[in-house]
Amino acid sequence: MHTFAFPLAAARAAPLSPDRASALLFEYGSMSLRYYAPDKVDRQTPHDQDEIYVVASGSGTFECAGETAPFTTGDALFAPAGAEHRFLDFSDDFAVWVIFYGPVGGEA
């Protein structure tokens, strides 16, 4: 994979990181790009960096810090560092690009 282009097909084929439920695709400074496609249940816990999700495929509901919002392919979602968040009632084809960035604890 190039360091400037990240095809969806390559992301889908990338191996999961040993300690994570997502595949690491790229790192640059404090930013990392990952691909996440949970199987039936999203069991993630809060992360120590801010993150942006871009929905690669599927639909469902995103819950973050006690609020919920529907999402579909192409939507972008934000979870601040430390916030409880998860995907609910998502379709079988659901997957997201995940962009972690910034300092531990999140941006000011």
CATH class of the domain defined by 22-101: mainly beta
Secondary structure (H, E, C), 7-53: CHHHHHHCCCCCCCCEEEEEEECCEEEEEECCCCCCCCCCCCCEEEE
Q: Is 86 helix (H, G, I), strand (E, B) or coil?
A: strand
**pTM exceeds cut of 0.85:** yes
Per-residue model confidence as pLDDT tens digits over 34-93? 999 999 999 999 999 999 999 999 999 999 999 999 999 999 999 999 999 999 999 999
Indicate the domain borders of the chain.
22-101
Instruction: Give the integer Cα–Cα distance in Å for 87 and 100.
Output: 17
